[in-house]
Amino acid sequence: MNVVVLISGGGTNLQALIDGQLDGSLKINIQSVISNKADAFGLERASQADINTDVLDHKTFDSRESFDQALIKVIDQYEPQLIILAGFMRILTPEFTRHYLGRMINIHPSLLPKYQGLHTHKRAIEAGDKEHGCSVHFVTEELDGGPTALQAVVPILANDTPEMLATRVLTQEHIIFPETVKLFSEGRLIMENNDCLLDGKALPEQGLQYRNFEK
Ligand code: GAR
């Protein structure tokens, strides 16, 4: 399955996908890693794995629409079956999300629908939550709002800082993100009528939920 991965930063989730491609557990071919930031460390990770990269700096465009249209052109030259947002920190236009409906997934560091947007770890701690986690969802027009495929839950411990909690969540991201890509590549996971179907059955709102998930 041909995929492209969009990033803005360090790319640890990208690395989990590269590792899966290299060890054969993911039957994917990462055609390109595309970043809106030229200094994203994820680009180094791609180069080290001999994966093509593209940089499209959003600051050189005069509108969100023109950036997204240019991004579509870059992505579509690879004819990917799946577009993977791995820490791609951009708000997407409806035209962009509609173009890839049902074939674009995103990882978000919260138990969606809780804590859409930024600073999710700090917000969960401040709210006094006992649990936090991450979600992989199909991307729709609603920001962090499309149907959730997989979720992993972690505990929030008494003296957690946002950074400690983020580290605990990130470990789970690196498990459920490749797992979602695998299920999609096997044709077992699809989006239909704003629902996620796994093996033909609609998943609940929280998706397939893992607690203390281990590989
Ligand atoms: C991850 O925690 C991901 O969930 C988050 O950005 C981080 C990227 O880390 N994404 C979002 O907040 C999207 N709204 P990485 O570059 O090391 O994969």
- Going from the C-alpha of 206 to that of each of 25, 32, 195, the distances in angstroms are 25, 30, 11
Residues 10, 92: one domain? Answer: yes
Q: Is the C-beta atom of 110 inside 6 A of ligand 1?
A: no
How many angstroms does the Cα of residue 99 sit away from the middle of ligand 1? 23
Overall domain count for the chain:
2
User: Predicted confidence band at 214 (pLDDT cuts at 50, 70, 90)?
Assistant: low
Closest residue to atom 10 of ligand 1, CA basis: 87
Residues 180, 215: one domain? Answer: yes
Domain region containing 47: 1-100
Residues 114, 192: one domain? Answer: yes
Cis before residue 147, ω within 30 degrees of 0? Answer: no
Residue 9 DSSP code: S
Which residue out of 58, 99, 108, 132 is catalytically annotated? 108
User: pLDDT digits over 102-156, tens only?
Assistant: 999 999 999 999 999 999 999 999 999 999 999 999 999 999 999 999 999 999 9
Indicate if the pLDDT at residue 61 is higher than 60: yes
User: pLDDT digits over 11-41, tens only?
Assistant: 999 999 999 999 999 999 999 999 999 999 9
In the residue annotation, 108 being an active-site residue is answered as: yes
104, 82 contact by CB (below 8 A) = yes
- Going from the C-alpha of 77 to that of each of 3, 71, 72, 73, 102, the distances in angstroms are 12, 10, 9, 6, 19
Q: What is the pTM (predicted TM-score) of this model?
A: 0.97
Q: Percent of the chain having pLDDT more than 70?
A: 98
The CA distance from 131 to 157, in Å, is 9
Residues 15, 81: one domain? Answer: yes
